[in-house]
Amino acid sequence: MKILLVSANTAETPYPVYPLGMGIVADALERAGHEVAQFDFLQSGRSFEKLSQALAAQSPALVGISIRNIDNVNLLNEQHYIDQVRQIVKTVRAAVKAPVVLGGAGFSIMPEAILDAVDADHGIVGEAEASVVAFAASIERGERPARCIRADGLVDQAGIGSARYDADIMKFYLQHGSMAGVQSKRGCVHRCVYCTYPLLEGRVVRPRPVKDVADDIERLASEHQAGYVFFTDSIFNDDGGHYLDLLREMKRRKLTVPWTCFIKPGNIMPEHVLLMKETGLKAVEIGSDAASDTALKGMGKDFLFKDIVATNDVFVSNGVATANFFMFGGPGETKESVLEGIRNIVALQKTVSFMFMGVRILPGTPLEKIAINEGVIRQGQELLSSTYYISPAFDRAWLEQALTEGFKDHRCCFFPADKFESATKFLHQMGYAGSLWQLLSPERMRTRTYGKQ
């Protein structure tokens, strides 16, 4: 059967991101014998006309739309992406009779609301390697599957797909500052109150076979000339240490393509950093998330601010660039903890810090319950239009003022977090890859940590 997959994501902040989920779905469907074409709406220049042309050229019997982002989770500069998906669905309907199925991380967070908002026929919640194949078979048999499909369970670790990286789409992303995405595991065991990762990926860590992951990296380097890899795992340094097995395999194969990842503060030893560096690590994004012990506790974190300091130090002292990301205004946050957090961040050595104000409330998270209990939202309130939690201990204006004042004289502290990105858009268009925050602190970067593709 002919299937057209469309990546609807057009977000360019902090940089355009290769549509990895669509690539994995494409691979699963092709292996099942379907003829699959991939269309990237950002690469097309957000052109509905080009989409209509692709539909006319392929005449698909099924159209799948990948929805990665609902919004940009930035209260101070809100961007919403679902209206654009509705336009994409409308364009598909005008061109072909094929049923439209939705999927993707953004979709899976609030499937029913998005199905209604964009008027699609079906949606598949969660990881789709197996479920999309069963769904396509059912469409091919002329059946009418359920509107919203939830897989019975998670795919096993060997079943986590490798993406069919499309050469033209990859070229576009590499030329526009993206890194090539590779996923090495799924699952999150932590209980951060605001986070959807356990809902999307399950609560048990499922590492992919290290051979498969290393093969992906080799393929990206040799076939796509990828000069920088991003491990898209929600946390790279899992507590079980599976990431060390992958690093050993990369070392055995002498893989040294520059790479970066998300790190959770807490369990990193100098020997781990050295192994990471030997395999190409250049920079890490530390998921610090809150800046005082009070705020960390309120966010459900199992580490303290001293662990953030130690993790930052172990990378920096070994020549790896770091960025830290913080949210202010979460549950339990007080005026005192905000001011303490600002002092803590300013004192954090040799790093770049990005600050967000307010915490996006997403369905199914503990934060949704907290917000209902505190009267911030109503039971059953729709959350598609972005809704943020700000601690009742202060008002929004006070928090914005405190953060603006607190960080205004600090070159490496960015509030709002996207302040830095307008400056880097130009560099991304020139083909410089990744989160260019490393450029900010050249004296901290003895090694070159970014590269023109």
The binding site for ligand B12 (CB under 6 A) comprises 9, 11-14, 16-18, 20-22, 24-25, 64-66, 68-74, 101, 103-106, 108-109, 124, 127-129, 132, 178-179, 181, 183, 196-197, 200-201, 230, 232, 234, 360
Give the nearest distance from C-beta 316 to ligand B12 in angstroms.
Answer: 20
Residues 417-424: contacts with CB under 8 Å, at least 24 apart: 417/74, 417/325, 417/354, 417/355, 417/356, 418/13, 418/14, 418/74, 418/77, 420/354, 421/13, 421/14, 424/14, 424/15, 424/177
- Minimal distance in Å, beta carbon 421 to ligand B12? 8
Residue among 41 and 197 whose Cβ is closer to ligand B12 = 197
Question: Which one, of 119, 121, 228, 255, lies nearest residue 170 by Cα?
Answer: 228
Nearest residue (CB) to ligand B12, 272 versus 360: 360
SS3 20: helix
Joined together, the tokens standing for residue 38 give 């991939």
Which of 64, 298 has the CB closer to ligand B12? Answer: 64
How far apart are alpha carbons 73 and 194 in whole angstroms? Answer: 12
Q: How many CA atoms lie within 13 A of 298 on its CB side?
A: 25
- By CB neighbour count within 10 A (0-12 exposed, 13-18 middle, 19+ buried), where does 437 fall? buried
- Which is nearer to ligand B12, 125 or 295 (by Cβ)? 125
| Structure-block tokens of residue 155 | 């795919």
Taking the least distance from each CB to ligand B12, the nearer of 183 and 324 is 183
- Closest distance of CB 268 from ligand B12, Å: 19
**Shortest Å distance, C-beta 63 to ligand B12:** 8
Q: Please report how close the Cβ of residue 229 comes to ligand B12 at its closest, in angstroms.
A: 8
- Number of CB atoms found within 10 A of residue 40's CB: 23
- Gyration radius of the chain over CA positions: 22
Tell whether the torsion through CA atoms of 33, 61, 173 and 19 is positive or negative.
negative
CB of 263 to ligand B12, least distance (A): 12
Least gap, CB of 155 to ligand B12 (angstroms): 7
Which C-beta is closer to ligand B12: that of 17 or that of 314? 17
Coil, strand, or helix at residue 412? coil
Q: Taking the complex as a whole, how short is the minimal distance between the CB of residue 447 and ligand B12, in angstroms?
A: 20
Question: From CA 176, how far away is CA 12, in angstroms rounded?
Answer: 9
Closest residue to ligand B12, judged by C-beta, is 103
Whichever of 12 and 340 has its CB closer to ligand B12, that residue is 12
- Residue 409, by phi and psi: left (phi above 0), alpha (psi -120 to 50) or beta? alpha
CA distances to 72, 92, 104, 195 from 43, rounded to whole Å, are 19, 17, 18, 30
In terms of CB distance, is 106 or 330 closer to ligand B12?
106
Distances (CA, A) of 297 to 287, 292, 305, 348, 398: 15, 9, 10, 19, 22
Residue 81 or 394 with smaller CB distance to ligand B12:
81
Longest CA pairwise span in the chain (Å): 64
**Least CB distance to ligand B12 at residue 115 (A):** 12
